Structure 1
């Protein structure tokens, strides 16, 4: 009976520790949130974001599922047409086992601020 109680206590403690670690990671990601402006392209095999200020390209993960939907609503006949976006999100290391491995980092989108077919003059203009 004593061994059973110890096992239960150990399982509870491991659960608490795992939950605390997950919350720390989520809090760390929230503190790294940035607002970025750039060009987003979407298609069957590609979801990329090019930062206006320096031209770096990132793989995109749409954690809120609004970016892809908003892109689709713009009504492009062909995929991969770039659009101007202002997004809130954070950068994470790309997964080496997927297509995103071709990119150094992944932009994880947490909020879509603006999406437009009209690309403003300046560093984002092609």
Structure 2
């Protein structure tokens, strides 16, 4: 009878652990959902910001792809912070309120640069 109790306890514990792991994975997938963002990007020594043209929300930019800052610099601006139009694949994460990123709605983590242009298209981005 003692072996039966141990086996039951082991099965119960295993089910609880598996259930906890499953719910952690589920919530992790929602926060790492990638989106396509279109808007204006400004880059300089102290600021890396993105303004969504449709919603007018401003985001701090983290360039995990390591291509956005390089592409911006390759456009050859004489002065920093000149806005350019970009389309990127990214994910949004909560900004750290103890750093400069805390002043922004969220932090946009760029995973892939799709388009960058000095030409700002007509529409909500040009206003």
Same fold (TM over 0.5): yes
- Measured in 2, the distance between the counterparts of 1:29 and 1:88 equals 15
SS of residue matched to 1:124: helix
How many residue pairs were aligned? 105
* Runs of 5+ unmatched residues, structure 2: 1-20
- Measured in 2, the distance between the counterparts of 1:28 and 1:36 equals 17
- Measured in 1, the distance between the counterparts of 2:85 and 2:31 equals 24
- Measured in 2, the distance between the counterparts of 1:123 and 1:81 equals 18
What is the aligned partner in structure 2 of residue 39 from structure 1? 40
Q: 1:78 to 1:34 in 2, by over 3 A?
A: same
Correspondence 1:31-110 to 2 at 5 A: 32-110=33-111
* Runs of 5+ unmatched residues, structure 1: 1-19
- Measured in 1, the distance between the counterparts of 2:88 and 2:39 equals 9
Q: CA RMSD in A?
A: 2.0
TM-score, normalised with respect to structure 1: 0.76
Deviation at 1:95, TM superposition (A): 1.2
Q: Which has the larger radius of gyration?
A: 2
Moved over 3 A (4+): 24-30
Deviation at 1:44, TM superposition (A): 0.5
